[in-house]
Amino acid sequence: MDFPQYFPKNTGVVTGLVGAMGGLGGFFPPLLLGSFRDRVGVIWPGFVLLAAVSAILWKLNARVFLPQREAAEAVMSREHSRKVTHLRAGAFATSMTALLGAAIVIGSRNLQNFDAALVIYTFATIFMVWGVAYHYAVWLEKPPTRLYWRRTWDLLRRQGIRGLALAVKSGVTHVAFQTFIAKRSHLRWWMHQLIFWGCLLAVAITFPLVFGWVHFRSAPNDQMLYVSYVFGFPVASFKIRTVLSWTIFHGLDIAAVMVLIGIFLALWRRLRDQGAQAVQSFAMDFFPLILLTAISVTGLALTASTMWLRGNFYDFLSILHAITVVAGLLYLPFGKFFHIFQRPAQLGVKLYQAEGSTDPGALCIRCGERFASEMHIHDLQTVLRELDFDYTMSEATTWQDVCPPCKRKSLATTQLRLRKELHGTAAD
């Protein structure tokens, strides 16, 4: 396989890994580490040296090989480019899944703390991670997204501390608290916040427990004392039959109630808001709510069976709950829930807007007014060319060099002229 052809951004790294599998690369690292152990008594300087060599290769790849491969990809056929994109996405998704599998094995102390009864959730999560990573990698290869992604990292390096502070601030306001929704409607804000934090709380509790990263045991000398272990290490203890223990053991129930309240607000809005009714669909608006409702209700039913029904129907309810959770995990990469992973990219848009506000700006060729940043218009023209949209008006100007008000005026003027010509022709 021609690795530089399919992985141009990692030519040096991938080639080095391939070389390490055989030939000189197969015995040089162990030889180097053994030499440090025999001569110095420690091996960590060898790892530092290998890491430095890898960093140099990465820099060389970014400066020399990557521009050459990107130039070659610019003239690549669309069909071949699509195949390359999907191959890279599959490789990235597989590597992320492998890392998750390794993290599960290591974090659970070689599966010592892994609960085999939860294996169905583990496999569903692994498939979900593969799907999300694959979809995200393909999404990042789309011309508009790719440009924004590269601009984001470039602006972070260029703006330094100021850019990092803006990214953190935007993360709090636009990702965590979603204040932009509150400006539209307080009802929508409460709906989003309850569903968002409810799901986040459920994920934070469920995944570490399923993977065996977190578990609880009774203290050897006190059966009323629970010890919590993280990655096999005791980190905290608490008395049972207290407010704290009740909150910990019912964390998923609290999350389910939050989600159900958010779903009720969402349905209330959709039944009363005519604007929402005009654009809603079952697949994108109602099915996700039905799925979240099924997961939350069956989860609460398990608690009800344990507390009030003496375990009756628990087996059936546990299977039903597992089906709903697995369905939700498998739906997540390719349904509406995928926007959860897209939302953090909004941070790059804020950096982009902040940088654009400082440049001279793009002036309309018709009225001479500033209507956007130079960077925005230049990037827009670049993306449109990549998508084979030609808006050229002359050798030096394009339709994107006209401000929106002047575009509307131009369209109105053209329509009036065409109407006049048609009426004139009809009159003749």
d(CA 402, CA 405): 8
CB–CB of 171/344 below 8 Å? yes
Same domain, 365 and 403: yes
Asked which of 75, 108, 129 is the last residue of a domain, the reply is 75
pLDDT per residue as tens digits for the range 288-327:
999 999 999 999 999 999 999 999 999 999 999 999 999 9
Pick from 9, 131, 125, 134: nearest CA to 64: 9
Name the pTM for this structure: 0.80
Q: What pLDDT is stored for residue 317 in this prediction? A: 96
Residue 370 lies in a domain: yes
Q: What pLDDT is stored for residue 309 in this prediction? A: 93
Tokens of 109: 């102390």
Residue 264 lies in a domain: no
CB–CB of 240/224 below 8 Å? yes
d(CA 353, CA 170): 12
Asked which of 50, 75, 100 is the last residue of a domain, the reply is 75
Residue 284 lies in a domain: no
Average the pLDDT over 355-365 and give the result.
89
pLDDT at residue 135 tops 90? yes
Same domain, 102 and 54: no
Average the pLDDT over 264-275 and give the result.
90
pLDDT per residue as tens digits for the range 38-78:
887 877 777 788 788 888 887 887 777 777 776 776 666 67
pLDDT at residue 252 tops 60? yes
Average the pLDDT over 346-356 and give the result.
87
Residue 127 lies in a domain: yes
Same domain, 374 and 391: yes
pLDDT per residue as tens digits for the range 172-190:
999 999 999 999 899 999 9
Highest-confidence range of 76-85, 138-147, 190-199, by mean pLDDT? Answer: 190-199
CB–CB of 410/402 below 8 Å? yes
Q: What pLDDT is stored for residue 315 in this prediction? A: 94
Same domain, 54 and 103: no
pLDDT per residue as tens digits for the range 383-420:
998 888 888 887 778 899 999 999 999 888 888 888 88
Asked which of 90, 123, 140 is the last residue of a domain, the reply is 140
Same domain, 7 and 57: yes
pLDDT at residue 37 tops 80? no
pLDDT at residue 8 tops 80? no
Q: In sequence order, what E strands does 262-340 have?
A: none
Q: What pLDDT is stored for residue 17 in this prediction? A: 47
Same domain, 364 and 422: yes
pLDDT at residue 138 tops 60? yes
Same domain, 393 and 374: yes
Provide, rounded to the nearest whole percent, the portion of the chain with pLDDT above 70: 90
Same domain, 81 and 71: no
- Higher pLDDT among residues 275 and 248, named by residue: 248
Helix-helix angle 161-170:346-356, to 10 degrees: 130
Owner of token pair 């009809």: 426
For residue 380, the enclosing domain spans: 359-427
Burial (CB count within 10 angstroms: exposed 0-12, middle 13-18, buried 19+), residue 145: middle
Residue 87 lies in a domain: yes
Pick from 209, 208, 178: nearest CA to 194: 178
Same domain, 106 and 83: yes
Same domain, 388 and 423: yes
pLDDT per residue as tens digits for the range 210-247:
999 999 999 989 989 999 999 999 999 999 999 999 99
What is the total count of domains within the chain?
Answer: 3
Same domain, 123 and 133: yes
Average the pLDDT over 13-35 and give the result.
56
Q: What pLDDT is stored for residue 27 in this prediction? A: 57
Residue 110 lies in a domain: yes
**363: amino acid identity, one letter:** L
Residue 106 lies in a domain: yes
Q: What pLDDT is stored for residue 4 in this prediction? A: 52
Same domain, 68 and 102: no
Residue 100 lies in a domain: yes
